[in-house]
Chains A and B, each alone.
Chain A
Amino acid sequence: MRKILPPLILGLLLLGGWEAAVDVLAIPTYLLPGPIVIARTLVSDWQTLAESWWITMSIALAALAAAVVLGVALSVLFSASKWVERSFFPYAVILQVTPIVAIAPLIIVWVNDTSLSLLICAWIVAFFPILSNTTLGLNSADRNLVDLFKLYRARWWQRMAFLKLPSAMPYFLAGLKISGGLSLIGAVVAEFVAGTGGQASGLAYRILESGYQLKIPRMFAALALISLSGILLFLALSLLSHLCLRRWHESEIREEN
């Protein structure tokens, strides 16, 4: 409670200030709508917005899932062979440092299916933190435990399953928290670039569309939904991390005084 209350109070104060400023200065809604107008729009346009929200979310979540599967699989491969790691890692870095807005148009041109191309863009953005964190984690097993496994003649898969993967868990979860937000950003950015219209369009397209039509409150409502989703994703992944680590990891240990 003491952790939630201060940011909550601050948030309400800021929203109140915003609403008051918009009222007192009589700012027209096409420039800056107040929070109440935005909330009303959120309710009145819920049908369209919710549909778009789900489209964006499903792309982000699918990209995150793909990032987890491929990121972990590739790190396990890296840890199996230094040679593979040395060959592949530079390209993973290149993928990471290339701005997604720059390659998204190419991907959209190359891949015929729009959802798939959006998914690929979001995946590229979400993939790297999981790969690099898990790779680091797999190499961070306690040296003496590694020796112990050697002493007991553990097989490769036993060392992976019982030592390396559990050691990598906190690193992986930290990467996952970063990737969760990035997958959403990746999905939204790719939608912006794709600018696809019609029925099945994500929140980014709703923002573009509202801009063209000067429906600024709706633009803000879509924006609010994106932020809320990001926050929810982060909270969900933090909870997951807490549940996985609470019994044993230093980061989860609370001082008992």
Chain B
Amino acid sequence: MPRSIVSCRDVSKRFANGTLALDGATLDVEERQFLSLLGPSGCGKSTLLRLIAGLAQPSTGTITWNGGHDGLSFVFQEPTLMPWATALDNVVLPLRLAGAARAEREAQAAAALADVGLAGFEKSYPRELSGGMKMRVSIARALVTRPTLLLMDEPFAALDEITRFKLNNDLLELWQRDRFTAVFVTHSVFESVFLSQRIAVMTSRPGRVQSEIVVDAPYPRDAGYRTSPLYNEHCRSVSAALEKSMAHA
């Protein structure tokens, strides 16, 4: 039985302007699992992820972090880099905030940049990098602290398909190597089926987890998986679940 490291029970979120973004969402994040949150745009995926991160409080319901609130990293939809800092300094940031020694944190940050395929770009400023490269820096910054839980909010949604495929592959490779727990928000059926072991399908707003689907396909997953009948079959069933959950709302 896998251990749940974050459990959300009947979580609702109403914003100050009266918008009810979530209504009774229940979800367990299981240790070392790659979980996707799938749902139509505006259904409250980002809201739920921010609650899981502890960046906002639920209006009703509870969120428990079994094993504490540390070791958490977040990747936003935009790269969210500091434009005045080099790629290396951006990746160094979390270590610097934690008070790591200079030599040590720079070595770790350089290694994290190399892990995402950006060795040699340490001294580049964000505006000198392409969209995909900026996202890689953002991922390196999230992974440099060796997180136990990595939260990602549609990180590749703004990228072109070729870049997105490449980043999907690289992300999976890093996940297999480090085995952090991943929660990946997406509105793409294909992306969620490619990446995850489990998919939580959400209803339209107010969001709720309508169904959960286990994607029973072995890793490593690569270009071969993308074209396999198994992949197609999963995509079909997840699409059907998504349609059903949207009809329910």
Q: Which A residues contact B (CB, under 8 angstroms)?
A: 142, 144-145, 147-154, 158, 162-163, 166, 169, 247-249, 253
6 A-B pairs with the lowest CB-CB distances in the bound complex, closest first = A144-B80, A248-B83, A152-B97, A166-B84, A248-B84, A144-B76
One of B50, B54, B80, B84 near A169 (C-beta < 8 A): B84
Q: Report chain A residues within 8 Å CB of B80.
A: 142, 144-145, 148
Q: Is the CB of A166 within 8 A of B74?
A: no
Complex CA–CA separation, A154 to B93 (angstroms): 10
Please name the residue on chain A nearest to B94 by beta carbon.
A152
Q: Which residues of A contact B93 (CB under 8 A)?
A: 148, 152, 162
How many residues of chain B have a CB within 8 Å of chain A? 23
The minimal Cβ–Cβ distance linking A157 to chain B, given in whole angstroms, is 11
Residues of A within 8 A of B85 (CB): 166
Contacts of B50 in A (CB 8 A): 147
B127 within 8 Å of A by Cβ? yes
List residues of chain B with CB within 8 A of the CB of A249: 83-84
| Residues of B with C-beta under 8 A to A153 | 97
Q: B135 to chain A: closest CB distance in Å?
A: 13
* Contact in complex: B74, A148 (CB < 8 Å): yes
A selection of 24 A-B contacts at a CB cut-off of 8 Å is A142-B80, A147-B50, A148-B80, A150-B55, A151-B53, A151-B55, A151-B72, A151-B73, A152-B93, A152-B98, A153-B97, A154-B97, A162-B93, A162-B97, A166-B84, A166-B85, A169-B84, A247-B84, A247-B125, A248-B83, A248-B125, A249-B83, A249-B84, A253-B127
Q: Which residue of chain B is the closest to A166 with respect to CB atoms?
A: B84
With contact pairs A150-B55, A151-B53, A253-B127 given, residues A145 and B78 touching in the complex (Cβ less than 8 Å): no
A153 to B55, CA, bound (A): 11
Nearest-neighbour CB distance to chain A for B108, whole angstroms, equals 15
A101 and B188 alpha carbons, distance in the complex (Å):
65
CB pair A149–B83 under 8 Å, yes or no, is: no
Assess whether B96 is in contact with A162, with CB atoms less than 8 Å apart.
Answer: yes
Q: Are A147 and B97 within 8 A (Cβ)?
A: no
Complexed CA–CA distance, A43 and B83 (Å): 49
Q: Does B126 interact with chain A (Cβ within 8 Å)?
A: yes
